[in-house]
Amino acid sequence: MAPPRAVRLSLKKPTYAVCVVGTQTYVDVHSNAPKGAENFGVSGSSGVEISIVYDPARVTEPTGKGPWPLDANVDMIVSVDTASKDLNDFKVKVYYFRQHEDSALGHSVLYLTGVDISLDVDTRRKGKVKRSQGDKKTWRWGSEGYGAVLLVNCDRDSLRSRGLDLANSHLTSLDDLKDMSPMVLTCDGPDKLFDSYKLVLNVPFSDSKRVGVFCARGGNSLSDYKQVLGPHHLSYKVERQPGERKIGFYVEGLTFPDADFLGLVSLSVSLVDMGTLPEEVPLFTDTVAFRMAPWIMTPNTQPPLELYVCSVIDSHGSNEKFLKDVSDLVLKASCKLVICPWIENRNDRWIQDEMEFGYVEAPHKSFPVVFDSPRDRGLKDFPYKRILGPDFGYVTRETPFAGASGLDSFGNLDVSPPVTVGGKEYPLGRILIGSSFPKSGGRRMAKVVRDFLKAQQVQAPVELYSDWLSVGHVDEFLSFVPTSDQKGFRLLLASPSVCLKLFQEKKEEGYGEAAQFDGLEHQVNRSINEMLADRSLRRDSLYVQKCIDWNREVLKRELGLTERDIVDIPQLFFLKDSYAEAFFPDMVNMVVLGKYLGIPKPFGPIINGRCCLEEKVRSLLEPLGLHCVFINDYLSYHKLLGEIHCGTNVRRQPFPFKWWHMVP
């Protein structure tokens, strides 16, 4: 707390001072005391609180209403509990006495004008602004924490606007106010006081590019709201109208947390004495703190809302049958299907690689935000032109020098369900990104993207090893599925060793001639016997198993998992130019829609009329309450080094858990 302001009294004329409600003013009773005075007494009008501060080890408190010793260890502090109706309507009188004498040697008069100044935001995170007497300058995490939240105003509420709302210094839609956090300035006091005092709203220079403030003057016209603070306005002289006691403002975030921004910003209001020119002196300053709401990813365990998929045309025809199968799956899962037409995707089918859906949330508002990857191919304009809109935000990060690598695609970005690791809770899960083997100097996701993800703080990222894959994405060897048991999910990992074991069992059962790819055009059949005898295929798959096992240990350690939490999905790989590719459609690269799983059809050996790979996967997942739907993606996706997850993208419900309740 700032030290009390000092007021010096005079014996010759009254002293006048302004006192802000809730603050203390130190009254100097010593400097101009009459010669010979040894004690003083004090009286005040109603509404003035007078406190005598003293050192009890050196000063004895007088009995009754007796005078206080005029001692260096005795100070007087005054405060007011309400704003004045008129100038100087509070009065304090100080009398000076000699020792043991009742008649005063002299007296001083102090006239006070009370003014109520307070800057308030939703410090308690209840969705409404309430007057706060607590600490407004700091921001605290946790369920018992405090401090207001700002949303980055990254949507586009007006269809007439070309860019993001945060780029506009003028309001383009009244709906845009709902994305901003309200702030209220209390400025109660005699109107005449504000002829000589002004109220100034300030934003620190370091925060000015992070935040914008609009002043609300009522009414339903866009012209009733003007931006008063922001990148080009560091201060604003508040235009208080006569009789005005409260002035409303709306605050918007302009940038997400990042490597150079921790996410905290502050605003302040000062009551400034204009009579102290040339250097105006603030009489009082009130400061509030905000934290920018982070961008939050949603895992497969969250219920699906919309599934996005592309319509494409290849030399063998369109993916119309695939779209029909996905449509049937979406119908079962009771979510919405959005098909991106060829004219908008320019035959780029990898919609998972292009973008990632997340959301931002404040106590008063939440909306989805699409994160556009640095990968710029046929779909590069789709997130901005087709998804950005009213209450649907947009954010991106661009690689500053070299172009994006394959690991910058968002098939290489995933997030776990909520986990607890060694007593540390991650109630929003942990982000997973694929990278090179530690210290190997291989491919990594761009630093600008990694920095952005880490700076959000609420889903601490984990780097996995995916550079052993040709495409290099984590969704090629892992996925999460929801379960109804206490754990709530399982981690699925591709497993060459489980696949080889399954084929060995089928061979020993007499099905060695059953063939992989049986009945599939454009592909040579391979019998179980041939695959097991293929030393190159076995060697490559066991190498891949070692790579996945390395990740398995990292995932167990960083997500707090046990072997019971992991399900191994049979899958073979082969190496091409030292990098791995799926030998048959990669089943972990599935789309998860609640309990319905859209799994790449593996075209495994047919035994007793059924695909043994499909049967194995059903036996692993259906006891968990899941429904396996196998979809043919062979020509349109698998042959192009991708699968169903790569070719779809799901927007999911936000977490019910409020991010500000956690402690990073």
Give CA–CA dist 434/428, Å, rounded.
19
* Inter-CA distances, 618 with 457, 499, 511, 633, Å: 37, 14, 20, 19
Whether residue 573 contacts residue 580, with contact meaning beta carbons closer than 8 Å, is answered with yes
* Inter-CA distances, 146 with 426, 427, 489, 550, 650, Å: 20, 19, 32, 41, 33
3-class DSSP state for residue 640?
helix
**What stretch of H or E contains 187?**
strand 181-188
Closest by Cα among 406, 538, 557 to 473: 406
Whether residue 483 contacts residue 490, with contact meaning beta carbons closer than 8 Å, is answered with yes
Give CA–CA dist 216/214, Å, rounded.
6
3-class DSSP state for residue 378?
coil
Strands (E) in 469-607, as ranges, are: 478-482, 489-495, 515-516, 526-527, 566-570, 573-576, 579-582, 591-593, 596-600, 606-607
Residues 6+ apart with CB under 8 A from 217: 224, 225
3-class DSSP state for residue 82?
coil
From the centroid of its chain, how far is CA 170?
25
How, if at all, do strands 462-465 and 431-435 pair? parallel
SS (H, E, C) 283-346: EEEEEEEEEECCCEECCCCCCEEEEEEECCEECCEECHHHHHHHHHHHHHHCCEEEEECHHHHC
* Inter-CA distances, 153 with 149, 572, 662, Å: 12, 46, 23
Q: Which two tokens stand for residue 145?
A: 């924490």
Give CA–CA dist 127/120, Å, rounded.
13
Closest by Cα among 196, 11, 248 to 107: 11
| Residue carrying structure tokens 């063998």 | 316
Q: Which two tokens stand for residue 214?
A: 């609009």
Catalytic residue status for 547: no
Q: Which two tokens stand for residue 260?
A: 């150079």
Residues 6+ apart with CB under 8 A from 74: 52, 53, 54, 59, 68
The catalytically annotated residue of 19, 215, 612, 646 is 646
Whether residue 642 contacts residue 624, with contact meaning beta carbons closer than 8 Å, is answered with no
Give CA–CA dist 405/419, Å, rounded.
30
From the centroid of its chain, how far is CA 29?
53
How many CB atoms are closer than 10 A to CB 400?
9
Sheet containing 25-28, strands listed edge to edge, beginning at the edge strand earlier in sequence: 5-8, 25-28, 74-80, 48-54
Give CA–CA dist 360/457, Å, rounded.
13
- Active site members: 646
